[in-house]
Amino acid sequence: MKTTESTTEQTQSTTTQESSTGAKKSTWKLQDFEIGNYLGKGKFGQVYLAREKRTKYIVALKVLDKEQLKREGVEHQIRREIEIQSHLRHKNILRLYGYFYDRQKVYLILEYAAGGELYKQLQECKRFSEPEAARYITGLAKALKYCHDRNVIHRDIKPENLLMDSNHDVKIADFGWSVHAPTTRRTTLCGTLDYLPPEMVEGREHDSTVDLWCLGVLCYEFLVGEPPFMAPTQEETFKKIKDVDLRFPPFVSIDAQDLISRLLVKDTLQRMSLTELFEHPWIVNNCPAQ
Ligand code: AMP
């Protein structure tokens, strides 16, 4: 690991953070970290492995370029992401320990997910076995239950937003589209096309049940290797979503088909709840130690 002593002046942080030792720290700066391997590039910046010098605690440091955030008009989105993610504490949600900034960059101090992207893993093996998929879906459903109980809707559950830790536990990593939903329902069109629920495609109001739809699409993609409403054009995908044109290859078990069909329901009130999901035979039989 090389150290970064040549850091920028005017580094600031505004959050009070707990370090791994439980010690509170109110002002992080780049000099507090040794920067290690490059982990990857996202839409708005780079991510590096880093170690907090005092505690030796390993984290992932996401470096965002302020100018780019401004140019792309996503400052508000990043602020919301930080505000929401930093308050969530769940085994299946990537921790955001804190943030700081200098003149040019914003730095997010994130939990390090040693297993990398779930998306890459799915690409490599094409599809997951049913027990493996059930374990991931159970972890995600638990994380979503935790979010919904706190009036947070994620709205963008898809393989690209999921990371894995060293135990192969799945972590929701991106809260860029999440919203607090105390009583209001939001109608913004967001998320990847293949994962959009009918109510969002049709521009209707939506609530936390959008995450149940996305969980159904994700479960299908885990088992089949591609999302259920994939089509050559956007219009065709939208039509398939609106018609809930759902077909299963024969290798998908009857129980898995049943679970997915109960999540991919057009009437949001009839969609299977997360509590019902935990009791579904496909989850119970494939993931007994949930
Ligand atoms: P992102 O900007 O969040 O899309 O991140 C870009 C890439 O960096 C991802 O695709 C991952 O490969 C990697 N990455 C991001 N966050 C982490 C993390 N907390 N732990 C490990 N790798 C990460």
Task: Please report, as a single letter, which amino acid is at residue 275.
Answer: T
Does a structural domain hold residue 258? yes
Does a structural domain hold residue 257? yes
Statement: residue 184 has pLDDT above 80: no
Residue-number span of the structural domain to which 43 is assigned: 17-110
Is ligand 1 within 6 A of the CB of residue 61? no
Q: Which whole number is the average pLDDT over 276-281?
A: 97
The yes-or-no answer on residue 156 being catalytic is: yes
Is ligand 1 within 6 A of the CB of residue 47? yes
Predicted local distance difference test score (pLDDT) of residue 156: 87
Number of domains in the chain: 2
Does a structural domain hold residue 68? yes
Q: Are residues 42 and 65 in the same domain?
A: yes
Does a structural domain hold residue 177? yes
Q: What share of the chain is helix, strand, coil (3-state, %, to 5)?
A: 40, 20, 40
Which amino acid residue places its CA nearest to atom 15 of ligand 1? 47
Q: Which whole number is the average pLDDT over 254-275?
A: 97
Catalytic residue among 32, 156, 194, 211: 156
Q: Which residue among 37, 39, 43, 72 is best mutated to probe the pocket of ligand 1, counting the most ligand atoms within 8 A of its Cβ?
A: 39
Q: Are residues 208 and 162 in the same domain?
A: yes
Atom of ligand 1 nearest to the CA of 47: 8
Is ligand 1 within 6 A of the CB of residue 118? no
Q: How far is the C-alpha of 265 from the C-alpha of 55, rounded, in Å?
A: 49
Predicted local distance difference test score (pLDDT) of residue 96: 96
Burial of residue 45 (CB within 10 Å: 0-12, 13-18, 19+) is buried
Statement: residue 130 has pLDDT above 70: yes
Statement: residue 3 has pLDDT above 50: no
Is ligand 1 within 6 A of the CB of residue 117? yes
Q: Which of 111-115, 159-163, 201-205 has the highest mean pLDDT?
A: 111-115
CB 54 within 8 A of CB 32: yes
Does a structural domain hold residue 8? no
Q: Which whole number is the average pLDDT over 61-89?
A: 92
Bigger pLDDT: 125 vs 12:
125
Supply the mean pLDDT for the chain: 87
Statement: residue 30 has pLDDT above 70: yes
Which amino acid residue places its CA nearest to atom 12 of ligand 1? 40
Does a structural domain hold residue 100? yes
pLDDT digits (tens, 9 = 90+) for 76-118: 889 988 999 999 999 999 999 999 999 999 999 999 999 999 9
Count of Cβ atoms closer than 10 Å to residue 85 Cβ? 22
Q: Are residues 69 and 129 in the same domain?
A: no
User: Residue 81 maps to which CATH number?
Assistant: 3.30.200.20
Q: Are residues 27 and 131 in the same domain?
A: no
43 is in an annotated binding site: yes
**Alpha-helix runs per DSSP H in 202-290:** 209-224, 234-243, 254-263, 274-279, 281-286
pLDDT above 90 covers a percentage of the chain that reads 73
Is ligand 1 within 6 A of the CB of residue 38? no
Does a structural domain hold residue 78? yes
Q: Of the residues 110, 134, 159, which one is the last residue of a structural domain?
A: 110
Predicted local distance difference test score (pLDDT) of residue 7: 34
CA distances from 140 to 235, 248, 277 (A): 29, 22, 11
Q: Are residues 164 and 255 in the same domain?
A: yes
Q: Are residues 226 and 255 in the same domain?
A: yes
Which amino acid residue places its CA nearest to atom 5 of ligand 1? 42
Ligand 1 centroid, distance to 72 Cα (angstroms): 20
Q: Are residues 133 and 203 in the same domain?
A: yes
Q: Are residues 208 and 261 in the same domain?
A: yes
- Residue 11's pLDDT band (cuts 50, 70, 90): very low
